[in-house]
């Protein structure tokens, strides 16, 4: 299946601007004091978890207790992913994000009857300065076994190919850029500008300057019967590229996003997306 009815969340403890990731994540802000950011994020977390549970989506929550100084632990999808009976751990660009593995995702999931027969642990590649940050770097078409990967400091081509060979995916590799301080910068995570559902794809073509790469991506999307929803640069900067399809326990599909992303969509885009699932959103501040 392309999607799931069970979500793993990490409750924040000391979420703040991460100085180690800010060097290539240009979306982070220094305008709000760390304590205030953490208060807002904790409130947003509880609201979002409540919405998931109300939609009858199974939610497993792990508490970050702050012991390992992991300000970005609320993004576990970058560190670990799940593939049927196997789990995968990823090498992280920032040193303090590597400590997130100490939260022991697999051990805590085992206590809730989720066990995995095989573990692919790519974290050893950190020693070679090779990184691949999970579902931030990899946009997976799990049904048709295609991995869309936008290269960056957090998504190295050689390791992406190793992942695809190990998991049986065809790699579709490209580069995407956005403008920051009058300069073109690589987009640090593929899922900032591209989201994939069972039968749809949200993508910002304007950030892919290579026409051949655009054609290759579009051909794969058409071949796999994905309805393409094109978003603008401005919508991408409102995080409209960052949404996820989830099913509830009854198999009903939902498409989740931030309220900021939802408000940036046009009426036409919302109508198209609604054909693929109920649109739900929660306020998530931009930090």
Supply the CATH number for residue 134's domain: 3.75.10.10
Question: Which pLDDT tens digit goes with each residue over 115-140?
Answer: 999 999 999 999 999 999 999 999 99
Partnered with residue 120 across adjacent β-strands are 88
Q: Do 137 and 155 contact (CB within 8 A), yes or no?
A: yes
pLDDT surpasses 90 at 28: no
End-to-end CA distance of the chain: 33
- Is the residue at 287 inside a domain? no
| Domain enclosing residue 137, as ranges | 6-282
Residue 186 backbone dihedrals phi, psi, to 5 degrees: -65, 135
- Is the residue at 217 inside a domain? yes
- Is the residue at 258 inside a domain? yes
- Is the residue at 131 inside a domain? yes
Note the Cα 71 to chain centre separation in Å: 17
Note the Cα 247 to chain centre separation in Å: 17
Which is more confidently placed, 73 or 145?
145
Closest by alpha carbon to 151, among 169, 180, 176?
176
- The burial of 27, by beta-carbon neighbours within 10 Å (0-12 exposed, 13-18 middle, 19 or more buried), is given as middle
- Is the residue at 112 inside a domain? yes
Per mean pLDDT, which range of 51-60, 64-73, 128-137, 163-172 is the poorest? 64-73
pLDDT surpasses 90 at 286: no
Ramachandran class of 129: left when φ > 0, alpha when ψ lies in -120 to 50, beta otherwise: left
Number of structural domains found in the chain: 1
- Is the residue at 256 inside a domain? yes
pTM of the model: 0.92
Question: Which pLDDT tens digit goes with each residue over 200-221?
Answer: 999 999 999 999 999 999 999 9
* pLDDT the model gives residue 256: 96
Within 8 A by CB and 6+ apart from 203, the residues are: 193, 194, 195, 217, 228, 229, 230, 231, 241
- Is the residue at 1 inside a domain? no
Place of tokens 């695809």: 164
Sign of CA dihedral 248, 231, 239, 154: positive
Question: Which pLDDT tens digit goes with each residue over 76-110?
Answer: 999 999 999 999 999 999 999 999 999 999 999 99
Structure-block tokens of residue 182: 């009058």
Rounded to 5 degrees, what angle do the CA atoms 165, 170, 175 make?
A: 105
Note the Cα 241 to chain centre separation in Å: 10
Within 8 A by CB and 6+ apart from 165, the residues are: none
Q: Do 27 and 66 contact (CB within 8 A), yes or no?
A: no
- Is the residue at 110 inside a domain? yes
User: How far apart are the C-alpha atoms of 57 and 6, rounded to whole Å?
Assistant: 6
């Amino acid at each position: 299946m392309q999607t799931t009815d069970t979500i793993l969340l990490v409750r924040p403890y000391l979420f703040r601007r991460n100085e180690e990731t800010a060097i290539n994540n240009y979306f982070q802000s220094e305008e709000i004091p760390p304590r205030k950011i953490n208060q807002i994020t904790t409130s947003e977390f509880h609201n979002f978890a409540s919405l998931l549970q109300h939609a009858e989506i199974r939610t497993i929550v792990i508490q970050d207790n702050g012991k390992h100084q992991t300000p970005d632990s609320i993004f576990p999808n970058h560190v670990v992913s799940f593939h049927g009976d196997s789990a995968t751990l990823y090498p992280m660009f920032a040193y303090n994000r590597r400590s997130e593995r100490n939260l022991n995702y697999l051990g805590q999931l085992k206590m809730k009857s989720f066990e995995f027969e095989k573990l692919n642990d790519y974290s050893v590649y950190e020693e070679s300065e090779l990184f691949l940050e999970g579902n931030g770097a990899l946009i997976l078409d799990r049904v048709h076994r295609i991995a869309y990967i936008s290269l960056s400091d957090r998504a190295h081509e050689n390791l992406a190919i190793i992942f695809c060979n190990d998991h049986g995916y065809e790699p579709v590799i490209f580069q995407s850029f956005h403008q920051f301080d009058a300069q073109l910068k690589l987009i640090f995570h593929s899922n900032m500008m591209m989201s994939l559902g069972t039968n749809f794809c949200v993508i910002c073509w304007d950030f892919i300057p290579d026409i051949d790469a655009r054609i290759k991506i579009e051909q794969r999307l058409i071949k796999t019967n994905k309805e393409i929803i094109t978003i603008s640069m401005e919508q991408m900067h409102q995080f409209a590229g960052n949404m996820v399809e989830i099913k509830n326990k009854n198999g009903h599909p939902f498409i989740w996003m931030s309220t900021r992303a939802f408000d940036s969509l046009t009426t036409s885009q919302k109508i198209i997306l609604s054909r693929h699932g109920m649109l739900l959103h929660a306020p998530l501040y931009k930090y």
